[in-house]
A and B are shown apart, each in its own frame.
Chain A
Amino acid sequence: MRKTSINLLERPETGQILALSLLLMAALLPLTPFLKGQVVGFLLLLFGVRIAALKWSAALPAPWLRLLLTLAGIANCLHAYQSLTGQYGGTALLATMLVLKLLELNSKRDLRLVAILIGFLTVVQFLFDQSLPLVLYLGAVVLGALTLLVDLNGQPQAPRLRSALRVTTRLALQALPLTLVLFVLFPRLSSPIWTLGIDSDQGLTGMSDSMEPGQIIELVLNTELAFRVRFDAPPPKADQLYWRGLVLWETDGRRWTPGRFPTQSTASARLQTSSDPIDYEILLEPTKQKWLFALDMPINKPDKSILTPDFRLLARQPITSAKRYRVTSALSYRTEETDPRLRELALRLPDNITPRMRTLVSNWQIQTAGDWELVQRGLAFFNREEFRYTLLPPRLGANPADEFLFETRSGYCEHYAGSFALLMRIGGVPSRVVLGYLGGEVNRIGGYHMVLQSNAHAWVEVLIDGRGWVRVDPTAAVDPARVDHRSASRVLGTGNSVRFDLDPAGPIAGLVKQMRLLADTIDATWQSWVLDFSAADQLALLDRLGLGPFGEYGLAALMVLTVSLTLALILLTLMRERTSLDPLETQYARFCQRLAQAGLPRLHNEGPNAFGRRVCVARPDLALAVGQFLAIYVPARFGPYQSHTSAAQLARQLRRFRPRRRPSVPSHRLGAATPAKRSRSKSSGR
């Protein structure tokens, strides 16, 4: 049987219940976009009941009704998510149960439980979103919960919120260095122990693994960040920033796909010659794909990744959270000759090659001597003929390459790269399409390049005897005069793409751009220092401290040491505090000092009563003031009364008490004349 009467001290106050309810609401607010409407509705209903019950306690549901509501809440979550354990179902259940608990707050312990679980709720939210504003917001919520915990333990005092906040602030400030130490040094897992229903089908935009007309345009319209790059040395020129992602070998005449290219072939990617190596670090946004991007041509691979023979970098696991890696690329290079099988793959043609395409290429072949000249001839074709670059091309039918080359003649990189690669294959030059990004926006504030999704690009590589695979960008061959800026600005709006040099002039637009760059810098710092901090970074730190060989034990030892040191520092700051005299003693000391100045020093073994009597005898003119002072001091000091008011009273008395020295009376003689009396009254005083 539950105890019906709860200790008066443990009964929560209405204000505290209200504060807790509001805090829980605030903690749940950022979750609402991720929860289904029916769950949010149920939570709102419960909150409504809670708030109403603050005013009319009859609105508080009876125990049987609470049980019913609990069952309804579970059923609601089950109905919405079909499961109670996954990321969404579990979170919904946690939220429902916490809000239900608000209807049953009998003692302060219940409030404490909910306040502590608010902390848990904030951590769960980071599975959904990890942005800096959310962290600041939830940080405030957690501080609120801590303040409530402090207040629950305190006594009702006048500036209540302020005194609780003061305590919390002190706690939080002292906890911060400790947090930092733990965060940096606490050993991490390098791979999960278990995976439990953390859904990963959030729609992520980004490159797909094939190329079809009209696909890249979605990316071009997308101004989200693809990755950031920080170069160790001065960055290369903008026209060298070809970020290689995927290589497409096969086409059915409409779609380009990687084909059956053996990704883990025995042949390793090797460059015959390479120069101008450049080191850089890439912070890749999650893509849910395995490919990593690198400048043409990567010559080493990051940890836990593969470098395929066609120079793609592949991670072992799909990238579900931001990934940081270092690569070295050679800007000038010459690839090795490919083996015949691949050469054949790079020449395979789809069925929908039209006669006029063949005629076009055979005309070129008559005019040219070698493969490379044929490539030049093809580029010249795109340049001389009426090809237009536009982001709003007309729709293409069943045979897009033919229609593009001979009829519409307007399109963007996909159209150019796809059709150019086909033309080269018709002409007997092995070719493949490369998907990736071109260029990048320089962020001078952060000192890095931002490569956006709108930087997506497609280009071609052709295999030339004696030169290996050579990069050719047919899109760049289009006469700049025929680039349709209007379509770009129509599609993209202003200031969205660097490719079109659409950056508007003007102070406000410039300021906006600066703000955007600053925001991205903060975001990048956040990414790399907080979100992306990993076991590898810890080991790097250990290495720098010369503790590398000890590995994770070194880390643990360092953590324990640093935590102890930090705690010792905190304790020192606590202990350093000045301890002061009793307020009464302070006043009494002043009283004695004043009398000493007037020529009546207190003897060291003299109690206040004895001293007072002696002063009264010596200086009857002071008797009244001295008597008044002692009448307050003696009972306050030796009696069981509170001193707060007494000390203030004494201070008031002393303000008026300015005894002057009276030279005519030799006070020291009087002082020496009453030893017997003195000792007796002292004992009575104590």
Chain B
Amino acid sequence: MTKRRAERFARRWLRGLLRRVPCGRDGIARVGAREIYILPTRTGFLFGTVLMVMLLGSLNYQNNLGLLFTFFLASVGVVAMHHAWFNLLGILVQVRGGPPVFAGETASYEVTLRNSRRHPRHDLRVGAEREFARPVSVPADDQLAVSFGLPARQRGLQRLEELRVETRHPMHLFRAWCHVATDAETLVFPHPARHAPAPEYAAGNPQRLHPSHKKGTEDYMGSRSYRRGDSPRHIDWKAFARERGLVVKEYGSERGREVWIDWSQLGVPDPEIRLGILTRQVLDASDAKVRFGLRLPGVVEGLAQGAAHTQRCLTRLALFEHAQDVNQPPRAT
């Protein structure tokens, strides 16, 4: 444990030493000359070793042709190093957080790489930590969007502190990389508990909130697109067969009921578990098409209904007593 802490500290200290590509006001980072790092790869070291042997042999046997070829290959290596560096230089990077996810899922980030040169840029990999997107090349005068995912471990705003852009162009002899400072965020909702007790109904008579089996007999109200957690029973399979995507039929009988999802109603001591249960309740209530409200210590989300309201409530749960800007509404994502 202490070892890991020391490691983390060392990494942070090192990160402080490293120069990062600053993000411009428009959210676009332009990779500058002094922010690019470059080191030989294993192949590069092998190449160097073979060249060294060739050099020594040719020098010893005074074989000028051997020297000529050795020097040519060495020059190609040196030029390749500059090309690797140059492949990153001046690239414009813009990072955006992906749609919100639940903790335990993968938060995606979308990176737009813009190449304003007349030559294509090859073998660009973007990522952070150990997760990298597939290498791409950006054609001349063009831009390309790549996305990669990071595991969403904790609820809250997951902020991508820095993005790494790497290249091993042209011959895999050198790896050039740079760290791009970003403020891309992805909202991570709490991990929903598997089961949750039914919350209290505003009318005072608790009722099971699980998707009712009587639903099928209720009046058909209309259709909407499929959302996580919808019962497969309500999927309009005919519409699916007509290739209109997953559509769920809605029934009106649940309307008119109201429910409060309340932090103080739960007896679980651990706040995170509580939040997980609340999340499940919000999802259930949303599925059940009831008007619901959310009460958290210091935060109240009034009675309402619909996707936007669910999102708002989940965001409240995600940011509840979160280290940064709790009361600020999240950015539109």
A-to-B contact residues, CB < 8 Å? 9, 108-109, 112-113, 116-117, 119-120, 122-123, 126-127, 130, 135, 138-139, 142, 146, 149-150, 152-155, 157, 163, 167-168, 170-172, 174-176, 178-179, 182-183, 186, 188-189, 192-194, 198, 321, 530-534, 567, 570-571, 574-575, 577-583, 640-644, 647
15 additional A-B residue pairs with CB within 8 Å, beyond A135-B68, A149-B171, A640-B110: A116-B43, A119-B50, A127-B63, A127-B66, A130-B63, A139-B69, A142-B72, A149-B172, A152-B172, A157-B137, A171-B83, A171-B170, A179-B68, A186-B67, A574-B82
A-B pairs with CB below 8 Å: how many?
Answer: 173
Residues of A within 8 A of B86 (CB): 571, 574-575
Contact present for A642 and B59 (CB under 8 Å) = no
Residues of A within 8 A of B137 (CB): 154-155, 157
Instruction: Tell me whether B136 is interfacial, beta carbon within 8 Å.
Output: yes
Residues of A within 8 A of B268 (CB): none
Contact present for B134 and A194 (CB under 8 Å) = no
Residues of A within 8 A of B46 (CB): 112-113, 116
Report Cα–Cα, A126/B69, bound state, in Å. 10
27 A-B residue pairings within 8 Å (CB atoms): A109-B43, A116-B43, A119-B54, A120-B53, A126-B69, A135-B68, A146-B171, A150-B171, A153-B172, A154-B122, A171-B170, A171-B171, A174-B79, A175-B75, A175-B76, A178-B78, A182-B71, A530-B64, A530-B68, A574-B83, A575-B86, A579-B116, A580-B116, A580-B141, A582-B116, A640-B96, A644-B139
Contact present for A135 and B65 (CB under 8 Å) = yes
Residues of A within 8 A of B75 (CB): 175-176, 178-179, 182
Residues of A within 8 A of B182 (CB): none
10 A-B pairs with the lowest CB-CB distances in the bound complex, closest first: A175-B75, A178-B75, A182-B71, A126-B65, A149-B171, A123-B66, A175-B76, A153-B172, A179-B72, A179-B75
Report Cα–Cα, A182/B75, bound state, in Å. 9
Report Cα–Cα, A642/B144, bound state, in Å. 6
> Which chain A residue lies CB-closest to B48?
A116
Report Cα–Cα, A582/B143, bound state, in Å. 8
Tell me the B85-118 residues at the A interface (CB within 8 Å): 86, 90, 96, 110, 112, 114, 116-118
Known: A142-B72, A175-B76, A176-B75. A643 touches B61 (CB 8 A): no
Contact present for A155 and B64 (CB under 8 Å) = no
Contact present for B57 and A123 (CB under 8 Å) = yes
Report Cα–Cα, A677/B61, bound state, in Å. 81
Least CB distance from A26 to B in Å reads: 15
Interface centre among B63, B120, B170 (most CB of A within 10 A): B170
Contact present for A153 and B170 (CB under 8 Å) = yes
Contact present for A642 and B62 (CB under 8 Å) = no
Interface size class on chain B is 35 or more
Known: A9-B134, A117-B50, A120-B53. A167 touches B122 (CB 8 A): yes
Report Cα–Cα, A574/B86, bound state, in Å. 8
Contact present for A577 and B135 (CB under 8 Å) = no
> Which chain B residue lies CB-closest to A157?
B137
Known: A117-B50, A127-B63. A109 touches B42 (CB 8 A): yes
Tell me the B30-49 residues at the A interface (CB within 8 Å): 42-43, 46-47
Least CB distance from B57 to A in Å reads: 7
Residues of B within 8 A of A575 (CB): 86
Report Cα–Cα, A116/B50, bound state, in Å. 8
> Which chain A residue lies CB-closest to B143?
A643
Report Cα–Cα, A647/B73, bound state, in Å. 41
Least CB distance from B166 to A in Å reads: 12
Contact present for A112 and B72 (CB under 8 Å) = no
Instruction: Tell me whether B280 is interfacial, beta carbon within 8 Å.
Output: no
Residues of A within 8 A of B83 (CB): 170-171, 574
> Which chain A residue lies CB-closest to B111?
A640
Report Cα–Cα, A116/B142, bound state, in Å. 33
Interface centre among B53, B66, B96 (most CB of A within 10 A): B66
Report Cα–Cα, A167/B79, bound state, in Å. 11
Contact present for B74 and A182 (CB under 8 Å) = yes
Report Cα–Cα, A238/B150, bound state, in Å. 86
Report Cα–Cα, A567/B74, bound state, in Å. 13
Residues of B within 8 A of A194 (CB): 60
Report Cα–Cα, A130/B64, bound state, in Å. 9
Instruction: Tell me whether B168 is interfacial, beta carbon within 8 Å.
Output: yes
Report Cα–Cα, A644/B114, bound state, in Å. 11
Contact present for A154 and B50 (CB under 8 Å) = no
Report Cα–Cα, A574/B119, bound state, in Å. 10
Residues of B within 8 A of A643 (CB): 142-143
Least CB distance from A150 to B in Å reads: 5
Contact present for B79 and A175 (CB under 8 Å) = yes
Contact present for A640 and B145 (CB under 8 Å) = yes
Instruction: Tell me whether B253 is interfacial, beta carbon within 8 Å.
Output: no
Report Cα–Cα, A534/B71, bound state, in Å. 16
Report Cα–Cα, A286/B96, bound state, in Å. 70
> Which chain B residue lies CB-closest to A175?
B75
Report Cα–Cα, A285/B173, bound state, in Å. 41
Instruction: Tell me whether B281 is interfacial, beta carbon within 8 Å.
Output: no
Contact present for B50 and A577 (CB under 8 Å) = no
Identify B61's interface contact among A182, A186, A192, A574, CB under 8 A: A192
Known: A146-B76, A532-B64. A580 touches B118 (CB 8 A): yes
Report Cα–Cα, A167/B121, bound state, in Å. 11
Interface centre among A153, A577, A641 (most CB of B within 10 A): A153
Interface centre among A130, A170, A531, A640 (most CB of B within 10 A): A640
Contact present for B122 and A127 (CB under 8 Å) = no
Tell me the B271-294 residues at the A interface (CB within 8 Å): none
Residues of A within 8 A of B90 (CB): 579
Residues of B within 8 A of A530 (CB): 64-65, 68
Instruction: Tell me whether B305 is interfacial, beta carbon within 8 Å.
Output: no
Residues of B within 8 A of A571 (CB): 82, 86
Report Cα–Cα, A642/B82, bound state, in Å. 29
Least CB distance from B210 to A in Å reads: 38
Residues of B within 8 A of A582 (CB): 114, 116, 141, 143
Report Cα–Cα, A565/B304, bound state, in Å. 72
Report Cα–Cα, A416/B78, bound state, in Å. 64
Known: A119-B73, A153-B170. A171 touches B118 (CB 8 A): no
Instruction: Tell me whether B80 is interfacial, beta carbon within 8 Å.
Output: yes
Interface centre among B42, B43, B47, B137 (most CB of A within 10 A): B43
Contact present for A150 and B117 (CB under 8 Å) = no
Report Cα–Cα, A138/B134, bound state, in Å. 35
Least CB distance from A54 to B in Å reads: 23
Report Cα–Cα, A355/B320, bound state, in Å. 132
Report Cα–Cα, A139/B173, bound state, in Å. 20
Identify A155's interface contact among B67, B70, B123, CB under 8 A: B123
> Which chain A residue lies CB-closest to B65?
A126
Instruction: Tell me whether B179 is interfacial, beta carbon within 8 Å.
Output: no
Least CB distance from B75 to A in Å reads: 4
Instruction: Tell me whether B58 is interfacial, beta carbon within 8 Å.
Output: yes
Least CB distance from A185 to B in Å reads: 10
> Which chain A residue lies CB-closest to B125?
A9
Least CB distance from B85 to A in Å reads: 9
Instruction: Tell me whether B169 is interfacial, beta carbon within 8 Å.
Output: yes
Contact present for B116 and A567 (CB under 8 Å) = no
Known: A122-B69, A138-B69, A175-B79. A640 touches B62 (CB 8 A): no
Residues of A within 8 A of B135 (CB): 9, 155
> Which chain B residue lies CB-closest to A194?
B60
Report Cα–Cα, A577/B71, bound state, in Å. 27
Identify B62's interface contact among A152, A153, A189, A579, CB under 8 A: A189
Least CB distance from A351 to B in Å reads: 48
Residues of B within 8 A of A163 (CB): 120
Known: A112-B172, A153-B123, A643-B142. A533 touches B74 (CB 8 A): no
Identify B171's interface contact among A127, A153, A570, A580, CB under 8 A: A153
